[in-house]
Structure 1
């Protein structure tokens, strides 16, 4: 089962990277707001999508299958991008820098009790 999930995730990552490279990306209003609030540029989001790995899958999301991806930008910053995984374009739902207390590391969730 784990091998099947890995192959599925690898296919999704490959498709997301192709779409990002081709600039087939749309950002929701919420995503734009989060980018503005954290001074994250569109180019940084695109770089994170081209570099990223899936850390969580959301197959039953209201916008359709989505994932949380962690990727590195050219300056070396890590970003989290929540985006669709099955459309002709990537729809970026939200983007942010993973920080405490929500995230212990960019790949490990923190405790909500600390918030």
Structure 2
């Protein structure tokens, strides 16, 4: 099932966001804060859908951090919970300049 950005935005409050241990470590390493993740979801767009992800469907969102840096957030959804899988600042070696298109063989 494809996720809808408007539905994700309705759920996007800190009490609904579940952060895996893996995601928490990555956020800390990359100096990305929960407020950046929330900003990305609230101002971003879904650029890839992963409807068959386990245990819940997920998607890749391109948006902006609170410091206006491009940010990718992978988020899963089940009922009212959002599961933060990872977040990172996209790089030109893996993404085209629009940060929406993956480079071939990257």
TM-score (norm 1): 0.80
Please report how far the alpha carbon of residue 46 of structure 1 lies from its aligned counterpart in structure 2 after TM superposition. 1.1
Structure with greater proportional helix content: 1
RMSD of aligned Cα (Å): 1.8
CA distance in 2, matches of 1:87, 1:67: 15
Assess if the C-alpha contact under 8 Å between 2:43 and 2:64 holds in 1.
yes
What's 2:102 paired with?
A: 109
Give the length in aligned residue pairs.
104
1:71 matches 2:63: yes
What's 1:28 paired with?
A: 20
Higher-RCO chain (CA-CA 8 Å, sequence separation at least 6): 2
CA distance in 2, matches of 1:82, 1:90: 10
User: Which stretches in structure 2 are left out of the alignment for 5+ residues?
Assistant: none
1:54 matches 2:46: yes
Assess if the C-alpha contact under 8 Å between 2:72 and 2:90 holds in 1.
yes
User: Which stretches in structure 1 are left out of the alignment for 5+ residues?
Assistant: 1-7
Please report how far the alpha carbon of residue 47 of structure 1 lies from its aligned counterpart in structure 2 after TM superposition. 0.9
Assess if the C-alpha contact under 8 Å between 1:101 and 1:111 holds in 2.
no
Residues 57-114 of structure 1 show CA distances to partners (whole Å, capped at 9, x for unaligned) of 00111122110111112221111111113431110001101113211231111233x5
TM-score (norm 2): 0.86
Task: Tell me which structure has the larger Cα radius of gyration.
Answer: 1
